[in-house]
Amino acid sequence: MQANELLDVVFRWAHLIAGIMWIGNSMLFNWLDRNLIAPPADPAHRLSQGKVFMVHSGAFYEVEKKLLEPGQLPDQLHWFKWQNFLTWLTGICLLVVVYYLNDAAFLIDPSVRAMSQAEAIGLSVGTLVAAWLAYDLVWTTVGRRTPALATALSFALLFGAAYGFTLLFSGRAAYVQTGVMIGTLMTGNVWMRILPSQKELIAATRAGQEQDATLSLRAKQRSIHNNYLTFPLLFIMISNHFPSTYGHHLNWLVLAALMIGGAGVRHFMNVRYAGKAWLFPALAMAVIGLAGTMIVTRIREAPAVTIEGEVGFARASEIIQARCAACHSAQNSDPQFPVAPGNIVFDTPERIGAMAARIKDRAVVNKTMPFLNRTQMTDAERAELGKWVDGGAKLR
Residue 193 or residue 360: which is nearer to ligand HEC going by CB? Answer: 360
Q: How far is the CB of 332 from ligand HEC (least distance, A)?
A: 8
Cα–Cα distance, 56 to 61 (Å, whole number): 7
3-state secondary structure of 49: strand
The answer to whether the CB of 105 falls within 8 A of the CB of 162 is no
Q: How far is the CB of 240 from ligand HEC (least distance, A)?
A: 7
User: Binding mask 268-307 vs ligand HEC (x if CB under 6 A, - otherwise)?
Assistant: ----------------------------------------
Using CB under 6 A, count the residues that bind ligand HEC.
23
The answer to whether the CB of 336 falls within 8 A of the CB of 389 is no
Note whether 168 binds ligand HEC by CB under 6 A.
no
The answer to whether the CB of 259 falls within 8 A of the CB of 276 is no
Instruction: Using the rule CB under 6 A, give the single segment among 173-181, 191-199, 278-286, 322-330 that binds ligand HEC.
Output: 322-330
The answer to whether the CB of 266 falls within 8 A of the CB of 231 is yes
The answer to whether the CB of 389 falls within 8 A of the CB of 360 is yes
Q: How far is the CB of 104 from ligand HEC (least distance, A)?
A: 15
Note whether 374 binds ligand HEC by CB under 6 A.
yes
Note whether 313 binds ligand HEC by CB under 6 A.
no
User: Binding mask 241-270 vs ligand HEC (x if CB under 6 A, - otherwise)?
Assistant: --x---------------------------
Note whether 151 binds ligand HEC by CB under 6 A.
no
Note whether 335 binds ligand HEC by CB under 6 A.
no
Give the single-character DSSP code of 330: S
Cα–Cα distance, 386 to 89 (Å, whole number): 42
CA dihedral sign of residues 351, 356, 358, 361: positive
Question: Which residues, 6 or more positions from 1, have their beta carbon under 8 angstroms from its beta carbon?
Answer: 9
- Residues engaged in binding ligand HEC (CB under 6 A): 243, 323-324, 326-328, 334, 337, 341-342, 344, 355, 358-359, 362-363, 368-371, 374-375, 377
